[in-house]
Structure 1
Amino acid sequence: MALVKTELGQQVLKDRSVALTPRQRAALILCDGRRSEKEVLAATASLGVTREDLVQLRVLNVPGDTKRPAGEAEGPAAAEPPAAAEPPTPSMPAVPVDAGKRYLEAYQVATRITSGLGLKGFRLNMAVEGAADFDALVALAPRIREAVGPEKFAELDAVLRAR
């Protein structure tokens, strides 16, 4: 089975209504109905996309499965067991669920706050989108506070302090 963007997935790419990490966004872009999960992972390996990123996208219901277009052979990737059943491998380190949730929550708040800055906050918003982990968001916090002010920053501050 190949991955294809759902209607919601197409909308998310257009209006960013659901906050995705840069890795998740890159993977979703490649869900074109021709590539299997294995092929999407291989194509985005240099960006650090993991199975966990694809699992999170599936939870959000932005990619779905489809049969490959006529004439294309289905490879062994179509018969893969569900990603959740696979144990972590050396190339895919286990990430504690709490750390992933905290990062995702902080990322969503930071993205929402900085995207509201318009053109003057474009670079800061891009820095937030490029933040690959929770610590990178913590490092950006002073810049975000300076740009949005203490009132708007309070929500992000609460998420970052909930260590």
Structure 2
Amino acid sequence: MILVKTQAGQQVFKDRSVRLTPRQRSAFILFDGKRSVSEVLEAGMGIGREDIDQMVELGLLGQVGGMAEAANAGTVAMPVEPTRSPARQPERPAAATLQVEASATPAMGSPSAQQRYKDAYPIATQLTGSLGLRGFRLNLSVEGTSTYEELLALAPKIRAVVGDDKAVALDRALGI
């Protein structure tokens, strides 16, 4: 079985709203949609199957399923945030709504900055995740982004490491 980080998982990883052990955090990074659960278990992180099951139950990881997984990421995230930080939950949707409205208004017909981010983020994590240890820090930097502008700033670094040919999809998603 191949697992990938959900939107909720990426947010929890950034804001640490759900306590993960250092081993869980290290293993969480390895779930890039390419490695199987057995490969992550064999990576020598000291993580057990029960740790992975816990991250799946919390909605931090989900099965690879392309658009279906991305659509379910928001619904999977709902049980995670209210248990740890109920005061934060109303703020996030309001901020996200404002950001979508603000960025969608000026450029009718073209994707908003938030939509570009949503399209480009999985590509960037896939590219940097495929680099292994060589791209570990860059992968962490990508996973630390939360806006289109932050991801856009990392694009030249990603392109320099993976090459122009592989970065075409990322450039297209970012609109550059």
TM-score between both structures, scaled by the size of structure 1: 0.51
Q: Does 1:96 find its partner at 2:100?
A: yes
Q: Does 1:16 find its partner at 2:31?
A: no
Question: Which residue of the other structure, out of 153, 156, 161, is the alignment partner of 2:167?
Answer: 153
The 1:20/1:138 distance shift into structure 2, 3 A limit, reads farther
CA contact (8 A) 2:8 2:77 kept: no
2:105 corresponds in structure 1 to none
Query: How many residues were matched structurally?
Result: 111
Q: Does 1:108 find its partner at 2:122?
A: yes
Question: Which residue of the other structure, out of 140, 144, 151, is the alignment partner of 2:158?
Answer: 144
TM superposition shift of 1:155: 0.4
TM superposition shift of 1:152: 1.1
CA contact (8 A) 1:28 1:63 kept: no
TM superposition shift of 1:104: 1.5
Question: Which residue of the other structure, out of 102, 124, 128, is the alignment partner of 2:138?
Answer: 124
User: SS at the partner of 2:167?
Assistant: helix
User: SS at the partner of 1:132?
Assistant: coil
TM superposition shift of 1:19: 5.5
Q: Does 1:61 find its partner at 2:65?
A: no
The 1:20/1:117 distance shift into structure 2, 3 A limit, reads farther
Q: Taking every aligned residue pair, what percent have the same amino acid on both sides?
A: 31
Deviations 1:28-85 (A, max 9, x none): 9639xxxxxxxxxxxxxxxxxxxxxxxx8763424448xx9xxxxxxxx6xxxx96xx
The 1:144/1:60 distance shift into structure 2, 3 A limit, reads farther
Distance in 1 of aligned mates of 2:14 and 2:144? 12
Q: Which has the larger radius of gyration?
A: 1
Distance in 1 of aligned mates of 2:7 and 2:167? 18
User: SS at the partner of 2:168?
Assistant: helix
TM superposition shift of 1:148: 0.6
User: SS at the partner of 2:152?
Assistant: helix
User: SS at the partner of 2:99?
Assistant: coil
Q: Which runs of 5+ in 1 are unaligned?
A: 1-10, 32-55, 69-76
Q: Which runs of 5+ in 2 are unaligned?
A: 20-70, 102-111
Distance in 2 of aligned mates of 1:127 and 1:105? 17
